[in-house]
Amino acid sequence: GAVVSQHPSWVICKSGTSVKIECRSLDFQATTMFWYRQFPKQSLMLMATSNEGSKATYEQGVEKDKFLINHASLTLSTLTVTSAHPEDSSFYICSAPQTGISYEQYFGPGTRLTVT
């Protein structure tokens, strides 16, 4: 099956700093990628849809200036958490559909962000 990678797998940062998380589709092109966040013992909440060559689409309640998304190429999307605070600590997961084949999503392994 298709593979999606994320980097880093975990990161610890100080409050007020910015953190960038990468999501790559390794063996297929993805014009669309999705970013989710997951708090402990909770489900995945869709944050935004990343679109190659255009602006991301954010879900209601997600601050676009706080969570910057850049879909730089057909295989790379980045999520930057700006001026991170402890409440941003979470598990961030990206996914990508293999367009044209099926609607099946391929998920990255996730990035655990801890803000101290």
Footprint of another protein on residues 72-91 (CB under 8 A)? 91
Question: Which range, of 20-28, 41-49, 65-73, 78-86, touches another protein by CB under 8 A?
Answer: 41-49
Residue 15 interacts with another protein (CB under 8 A)?
A: no
Question: Residue 110 — left, alpha, or beta (φ > 0 → left; ψ -120 to 50 → alpha)?
Answer: left
Query: What's the CA gap between 36 and 21, in Å, rounded?
Result: 12
Strands 90-97 and 44-51: unpaired
Contact residues for 100 (Cβ-Cβ < 8 A; gap 6+): none
34 binds another protein (CB under 8 A): yes
Looking at the Cβ atoms of 78 and 90, the one nearer to another protein is 90
Find the binder of another protein among 42, 73, 83, 114 (CB under 8 A). 42
CA gap 41, 36 in Å, rounded: 14
The residue ranges that bind another protein (CB under 8 A) are 1, 32, 34, 36, 41-46, 49, 91, 93, 95, 97, 99, 102-110, 112
